[in-house]
Structure 1
């Protein structure tokens, strides 16, 4: 049996995220992440490979946390309410994990990584995004009878763009306004309802 890890990966990724958000991506060197997390530099290289590996892991962890909530919410049978539930999950993510939300809202992987995302990252991202895209496709199909580009785009404006814009607007507030969840959910319900055939 392997001994327990001395330095928790989440602590390391939290330190990387904090450095990126407070001082910018260039400040998140392996040495700086090691110093901020308390983990030896060798641990970071062993566990993540290099700086890109640490920052990729932090960004993908945030994305995974967001997607877990959105996918859990998407199971509602009614397509309008499924979309509204996904919107509420997005706002809840921003409220409960504001640092992860700020990371996703403010930085693309290409902003973080030396040399940009590689093919392995792109493949992993496509795999992670596929279930959410399928939910948008399902909602579009059930609302309009079609799941072409235009229908998916219409659903995306309600389910993706509305909460994204709202979270981005309030990303640096001390906390999200209490009324935001309901306001964005109602706006999404109106947009989605207008798509129904």
Structure 2
């Protein structure tokens, strides 16, 4: 009978999140992750084919966890303006609740070796991106927003505005102000209105 593993995949990915938040993607190495967990480096290689697979998994897990709540907020109200505002609020609230993951997402997938990802990792990333684009297009249509300028306004309201509220604070290692969620919701609702 095989011995049970002392370390699971999530422990390694959690360590990779901490390292990326502290030192950026360059700080996420197989040996650094093993050291952070207190595991032999062979344990990391047992779960990930190499550093590129580790980078892909930590990026995708983080994005997918964020998107799960974002989509739930966006789909949680039949009124498109309120739903959009709730999704923007989620972006800030999630960043407050998960500052290390949010700091990781300040980097792009390209910073996590996106060009070298496996076909499966690339497919997951592309599907997530397409789902976001479709949700923004659906929101724009529900709001009666037509044309490129209107689509850009929805994108700014839903993506850029909440990100701008958290980026500066996260990069400075400062907590988000108590009013950040309210501000995201109010500003997004105004732009969508």
Gap change, CA 1:155 and 1:56, over 3 Å in 2: same
How is 1:168-179 mapped onto 2 (pairs within 5 angstroms)?
168-171=167-170, 172-179=172-179
List per-residue Cα deviations over 1:153-174 (Å, max 9, x = no partner). Answer: 2211111110011111221344
Gap change, CA 1:87 and 1:46, over 3 Å in 2: same
TM-score w.r.t. the length of structure 1 is 0.87
CA contact (8 A) 1:110 1:117 kept: no
How is 1:65-104 mapped onto 2 (pairs within 5 angstroms)?
65-75=65-75, 76-104=77-105
For structure 1, list consecutive stretches of 5 or more residues without a partner in the other structure: none
Residue matched to 1:166: 165
CA contact (8 A) 2:73 2:83 kept: yes
For structure 2, list consecutive stretches of 5 or more residues without a partner in the other structure: none
How is 1:42-57 mapped onto 2 (pairs within 5 angstroms)?
42-57=42-57
More displaced 10-residue stretch of structure 1: 22-31 or 89-98: 22-31
CA contact (8 A) 1:12 1:39 kept: no
How is 1:22-33 mapped onto 2 (pairs within 5 angstroms)?
22-33=22-33
The structural deviation recorded for 1:136 is: 1.0
Residue matched to 2:40: 40
Q: Structure 1: how far apart are the matches of 2:190 and 2:4?
A: 51
